[in-house]
Structure 1
Amino acid sequence: KKQHILVCLSASPSNEKIVQTAANMAEVLSARFTALYVNNDFSLTGIDKKRLDMNIQFAEKLGADVVTVHGEDIAMQIAEYARLSDVTKIVIGQSNAKRSRIWSGYTLTEKLIAYAPDIDIHIIPDAGFYKKSRKSSLFVNTQLPTMQDVLTACGVLALCTAIGFLFLHLGFNDTNIVTVYIFGVLVVSAMTKGYICSIASSLLSVFLFGFFLTEPHLSFKTYAVGYPVTFAVMLSSSVLTGTLASQLKKHAKLSAQSAFRMQILFDTDRLLQKAKNSEEILSITCMQLSKLLDRCIVAYKADNDILLEGRIFPKTESSASERLLNGSERSVAEWVYKNGHCAGATTSNFSNAGCLYLSIRIEKRIYGVIGIPMNKNSVDSFENSVLLSVLNECALAMDNAHNAA
């Protein structure tokens, strides 16, 4: 059975050492080498995100197939991927094997052993214990609410209060009114972005209920002994349901993004099978990448060991063409063509360039260079994984076309 080594990627400063160790193991054992990143957190800081991108690029440079998956339980995602991909060895850092506190739960290593008892787990000493610079998991999406979100929340709670008055007039008990407010918080969570409006609505619903709908009215004083318990249960239920609704929205968005990106990959494979020549292959690849990344793509096709004139897909205004196809940008593309390594924006080579340049290559044969403008949002880890897969499909199609010519 062929060995398959899986290394876990993270934003840790010591992750580069772990990736290097795993790459050395893969080379010695002539094993397949995969680097896996489990995306379970939107709140990486700018420094951590940059470090993660560098670790991903380093793994790619060492020949790893970079894969990104999404999930809350990191150990479960790693174990499930390892099982489906016939991984024989998992390499992680020692910091993942330590408990940060006495009362902490099971470590990542302990969970991995439980989930994948038949796979060898290699723990590599790293430079101390790394704590991610992350915000509280409750506020994963910390974007401030818009005025529309605030008005929506206020409108929903006002409607809940009006329904509460109606229920009170009809002689319904407090339980029915509390249920209306909890439902209102769910509606707010579904109609607004992030957690802030959801949590604020949970707190405000308790105050509205206590002020308007309990005896004495228009006062926070209560005659009934059980009202404090009612308030506490109502607040807890509202916060819990609101948070769960927001998390459900987040996972639904993730699923939609994953489905879209996978569809791009499948469509690319289908379209490339119908392509008749290298020009058509390059055009299809660039248009699919443009759709994936929501930006124009620069392409240089190689012919007789030289790069031809660059083109932009889809066609754009002349000012953008002049900026993306100038001499300095072309020199970076030529460096990538000669050296076979990525360069340009977000890399250590020619970092001042406007584009990130990647080669279209299969083994040592390079058929062209792709440039991705980085003036918009940077390419995230999952997009990068799909991007590399599309480029591999393009290189394979061009190689087949070259051999058939």
Structure 2
Amino acid sequence: MKVTMAQKNQIKTVLLHFVIVLALLLSAAGIGYLLRGLGLPEANIVIVFFLAVLLTSLLISSYAFAILASVLAAFLFNFLFTEPYFSFAVHAPSYMVTLFIMSIAALLTSTVTFHAKRNERSAMERELESRALYALTNLLTDAKTFPEIAELAADTISKSVCAGAACLCFDKNGKPEDSYIQCLPGQAVRRRTEDVSDLLQRLSDLDAGFVAGPVFYDWPIYAKDSILGLIRLPREKAQRLSAAQIRILRSMIESTALAMDRFRASQQRIHLHEETVRERYRVNLLRAISHDLRTPLAGMMGTSEMLLGMTDRSDPRYPLMEGIHHDAGWLHSLVENILSLTRLQDGTLAISKQMEAAEEILGGAARYVMRHHPGYDIEVHAPEELFLVPMDAKLISQALINLLENAIKHTDPPGEICVSVEEDRENRKAVFSVRDRGSGIGGADLPHIFELFYTSHAKESDSRKGVGLGLTICDTIVKAHGGTIWARNRADGPGAEFVFSLPLEVETHG
């Protein structure tokens, strides 16, 4: 059976402790003979053996050896200094009492001394831990970058716990970086990270406080919901860590995790602030441009419409003016959509719900769209009885117009386009629907149809004018009303259907 180096060291330590115990007890016996030769009473010799037991407890940090020294001291005193000498037999009853009291006293002395020494050692370890944590915390407070935090943690752990400690950082996606920093005597070096997939696999199988690798013992640095990095200790040195060193290491890892998490949170706040500022600039720019374009576009639309009324259809200039009128109308609609979207997103457009007749809203939206697209005939279906729905009439009309224009964009004239509303009595909702007979919605487009600036390419010739605002505005308006909107392909043939529902009960805030 092969004996390891650690086992050899343990055997040497035990033998050394035995030698110390025997040397102290034999020294006590020698001094005892000297005191007896001087005619001093046996009580002085007992005190000398007590002193030997006390010195054993002070020199050897082992409870077992302290008890062993107490027992051996009692037997040795009996063997050498009680009659009959050089025998464990005891004739006088007074010697029995002396040996019993001596054994108990020696045992208590060794126990008290051992515990006092252990408490002293624990206090020193706590003091060292507190100093190390205080030093690390002070250093981490001044750290400016993530790599700087990693280097400070590795350097402090290398000096306080385990030489050669290293730190491997993880990115925001929970993936290890390409290199890690290791603190060697007098310098900090960058080393390339080994097989990342193997490292992640070992971390996924983590069942203890660390991961044992071929070169390092890796201790994870965790945030609340992610991993920030690893503290790496050389394998051979990590195997010899004491319980106190492991406790200090865990405390340092927690301090490092707090510093890293705080840095990540600070970076995220800065990033969010920058995004908010950029978004505010974007909204203000769009709003300013839209406001500046509204007046000339309205003039272009009015002038072109007046010229169309003054020009005969057979005039070759008529199609040119008609194109100007249509393009100006499209630009005017786009500008209105941009303004509405910016107001809705920054909360400056207030939702004013009133009880409105649903069939009037549908009819008004259909008439507006047919006036601008005379080649289409839009069907309107509404309940025969008066159907009142709490809504902001202007915004819901805009949402319906956007949905109808989207249907026209994907349907060749005079394709079937239908807008309807019905009451969902069970769920207390009004359900609006716009259906067309176009090519439908592609499977790749369906999950993204309401995203900002997303345009479908199902019909390239018509979608060239789309910028992906109309459906986004519909989604924003409906959600601002507390409703839901969705899209699907028709089950009764080709075409798409856009449906949104509005609650029939007006929310009250008390």
TM range (shorter): 0.5 to 0.7
Aligned mates of 2:54, 2:156 — CA distance in 1 = 38
Q: Of 89, 92, 96, which residue of structure 2 is paired with 1:228?
A: 96
Q: What corresponds to 1:331 in structure 2?
A: 197
Q: Which residue of 2 is the match for residue 311 of structure 1?
A: 180
Matches of 1:365 and 1:214 in 2, distance apart? 72
**1:93-122 per-position Cα deviation (integer Å, ceiling 9, x unaligned):** xxxxxxxxxxxxxxxxxxxxxxxxxxxxxx
User: Which of 173, 186, 198 is 2:66 aligned to?
Assistant: 198
Larger gyration radius, structure 1 or structure 2:
2
- Cα pair 2:28 2:49 within 8 Å, conserved: yes
For residues 350 and 217 of structure 1, the distance between their equivalents in structure 2, rounded to whole angstroms, comes to 61
Quick one: distance in 1 between partners of 2:82 and 2:217? 62
Q: Quick one: structure 1 residues 335 and 217, their matched pair in 2 at CA, closer, same or farther if it must change by over 3 Å?
A: closer
One-letter identity of the residue aligned with 1:258: R
Note the C-alpha offset of 1:191. 1.1
Q: Which residue of 2 aligns with 1:386?
A: 251
Q: Give the equivalent residue in structure 2 for 1:179.
A: 47
Aligned match of 1:399 in 260, 264, 280? 264
Q: Which residue of 2 aligns with 1:153?
A: 21
* Counterparts in 2 of 1:352 and 1:371: CA distance versus 1, 3 Å: closer
CA distance in 2, matches of 1:194, 1:379: 15
Q: Cα gap change, 1:364/1:237 in structure 2, threshold over 3 Å: closer, same or farther?
A: closer
Query: Cα offset for 1:295?
Result: 4.8
1:206-232 CA distance string (max 9 Å, x none): 222122222343333444321011111
Q: In the superposition, relative to structure 1, how do residues 315 and 180 fare at CA in structure 2: closer, same or farther (>3 Å)?
A: closer
Gaps of 5+ in 1: 1-141, 337-341
Question: Would you say the 8 A contact 2:79–2:87 is kept in 1?
Answer: yes
AA aligned to 1:358 is: P
Q: Distance in 2 between matches of 1:366 and 1:350?
A: 14
Residues in 1 aligned to 2:20 and 2:54: alpha-carbon distance in whole angstroms:
12
Q: Which residue of structure 2 aligns with residue 128 of structure 1?
A: none
Letter in 1 for 2:180: R
The answer to whether the 8 Å contact 1:265/1:389 transfers is no
SS, match of residue 276 in structure 1: coil
Distance 1:313 1:369, change over 3 A: same
Structure 1 residues 331 and 394: alpha-carbon distance in aligned structure 2, compared to 1, 3 A threshold: farther
| Larger RCO (CA within 8 A; separation ≥ 6) | 1
Give percent identity, aligned residues only.
20
Q: CA deviation at 1:239?
A: 1.4
Shift of 1:163: 1.6
CA offsets, 1:40-65, max 9 Å, x none? xxxxxxxxxxxxxxxxxxxxxxxxxx
Cα offsets for 1:289-319 (capped at 9, x unmatched): 3344415434333457564322242148xxx
1:243-322 maps to which residues of 2 (within 5 A)?
243-302=111-170, 305=173, 307-315=176-184
- 3-state SS in 2 of match to 1:263: helix
CA–CA separation in structure 2 for the residues paired with 1:177 and 1:349: 54
Q: Helix, strand or coil: the match of 2:169? A: strand
Q: What RMSD in Å do the two structures reach over aligned CA positions?
A: 3.7
| 8 A contact 2:210–2:220 mirrored in 1 | no
Q: CA, structure 1 residues 359+196, in 2 after alignment: closer, same or farther (shift >3 Å)?
A: closer
Q: TM-score when scaled to structure 2?
A: 0.43
**For the structure 1 residues 392 and 332, does the alpha-carbon distance in structure 2 shift closer, same or farther, using more than 3 Å as the test?**
same
Task: Give the match for residue 57 of structure 1.
Answer: none
> Which amino acid is 1:219 matched to?
S
Task: Give the distance between the partners of 1:315 and 1:145, measured in 2 at CA.
Answer: 30
**1:356 aligned residue (218, 227, 249):** 218
Structure 1: which amino acid aligns with 2:260? A
